[in-house]
Structure 1
């Protein structure tokens, strides 16, 4: 079958251009196989990273038809089938299938599909991604774990540092201080590790502003593109739960946001917006600056007749409350 590959090519500090390459391929050929053929047979100047060719090293991560993935894992047949399910009014019935290849996002391009991953590694280092046993006396033998303790590390231990989640992270795109889903997934591995002695310090660091867990927008893109099912968002949520279990609502606005939302839904089945603003932004009338910041919005809502003067609980409030309490009890039992 013939496939038209559109490769986004770019020199450092220059505008990207699209180069097209026509290949005769088999459905089972991987995208990396095709890129190798383009380089060997048509254009030796094409630059991209590769190494193991077996979904182990993560070197060949790139954007394939708009989503970050491993070129050695995705094949032509499955990619064409995926594209066929996406409506495209301008696509002709008998047109040659096209596959677009682009560099990873959220990182500057060095050349073609090769990006500078400096920020990726620096943000990983920022979460101190290694076990600290400094507080312990050096033992005569290694620090041992039970099989149950070790099993808590399995999922995050599968991360191959490919950068796919970092590439797709919306929070990282708008907030350069956010460390990224890869770093926080690794951070949870340290929090969950029974050998580590700095859990409290770690949680304080991960709770700081929007560079840690509260900077995540929960868009789910990191989970969707992870080739190893690490589920970074799930690990970020686990860190949040550890922080919330240790902090009172007045500790920060981020913590109040989560705690107040749950309390109001338990009380009324949905959120009483009046109470939400006062309790989260105004810190239960303790934060006068926060309360004053709500005044312009409140006045606009009153002027347009959109300010809720009363609140009625939703139908099934008791059922909602029971569900939340059951989940909380289940989480507490696991801890």
Structure 2
């Protein structure tokens, strides 16, 4: 069958242009197969990365019809079938099907589908993605782990550093300080590793501002595009749980926000805004500057009659409390 490939081409520091190529393909041909044919048979100037061709190296990550994926993993048939499920991208009846290829996002383009991944690697380095055993006595042979301890590393160990999650990350797009889901997924591997001796320091680093776990917007795009089922958001959530289990309520506003929200919902079924502001922003009356920052908002609410003078728990408070406690117990067992 014939397929039109629309490739977003771009030179460094120049505007992107769309170039189309018509090729005869089989439904089982991978997107990488098609790009190779375009380069070998029609346009030798087309630039893209590739290596193993077997979903191992992660080199051929790019945006295929709007989502980041591995060109060696996706094939023409499955891609066209996916498009049929998306009305906005569905090809017109009786027309030649089209597949659009673009470079990864959140990274500057060097040429065509090749991007500069310096920020990707620098942010990975920022989380110190290697086991530290400096605080332990070096054994004669090796650090041993039980099968259970090793199994905690399996999921994150599957990451091939392709950059798909980083490309789709909304938090990274709006906050250049956020290290990215790939880095935090690797970070959890270090936190979970029984041989590591820097857990406390790591958690303090990952808890800092919006560059760490609290910068994540929980959009789930990273999980949806990961070709190896690493589930970066799940790993970020695990780090948050570790931070909360190691810290006190009053340590940081981010931690207070999470803990106070849960405690208030457990207590009354929904949030008592009066207590929420005092406990989170005012740090239980310890943060005078935080309390003063609430004053303008409080005055506007009083003037407009929107300040709650009393709090009525919801009718389903007991059910909500039971659900929260059930989730907390399950998390503790994990």
Q: TM-score range by the shorter chain?
A: over 0.9
Unaligned runs of at least 5 residues, structure 2 = none
* Counterparts of 1:92 and 1:161, CA distance in 2: 36
Number of corresponding residues = 334
**What's the CA shift for 1:132?**
0.7
Q: Which residue of 2 aligns with 1:180?
A: 180
Note the 1:1-335 alignment, pairs <5 A.
1-88=1-88, 92-334=92-334
Unaligned runs of at least 5 residues, structure 1 = none
1:53-101 CA-to-partner distances (Å, cap 9, x unmatched) read 0100000000111111000011111111111111239953222211111
The change in CA–CA distance for 1:90 and 1:237 in structure 2 (over 3 A counts) is: closer
* Counterparts of 1:165 and 1:214, CA distance in 2: 17
1:131-163 CA-to-partner distances (Å, cap 9, x unmatched) read 111122221111111111100000000000000
SS of structure 1 residue aligned to 2:50: coil
TM-score by length of 1: 0.96
Tell me if structure 1 keeps the 8 A contact 2:84–2:90. no
SS of structure 1 residue aligned to 2:55: coil
- What is the alpha-carbon root mean square deviation over aligned residues? 1.5
1:247-297 CA-to-partner distances (Å, cap 9, x unmatched) read 111111100011011001101112222322222112122222222222333
Q: Bigger shift: 242-251 or 152-161?
A: 242-251
**What's the CA shift for 1:213?**
0.9
* Counterparts of 1:95 and 1:12, CA distance in 2: 34
* Counterparts of 1:298 and 1:45, CA distance in 2: 62
* Counterparts of 1:159 and 1:93, CA distance in 2: 39
SS of structure 2 residue aligned to 1:308: coil
The change in CA–CA distance for 1:316 and 1:195 in structure 2 (over 3 A counts) is: same
* Counterparts of 2:108 and 2:250, CA distance in 1: 39
1:143-192 CA-to-partner distances (Å, cap 9, x unmatched) read 11111110000000000000000111111111111111101100110111
Q: Bigger shift: 134-143 or 45-54?
A: 134-143
TM-score by length of 2: 0.96
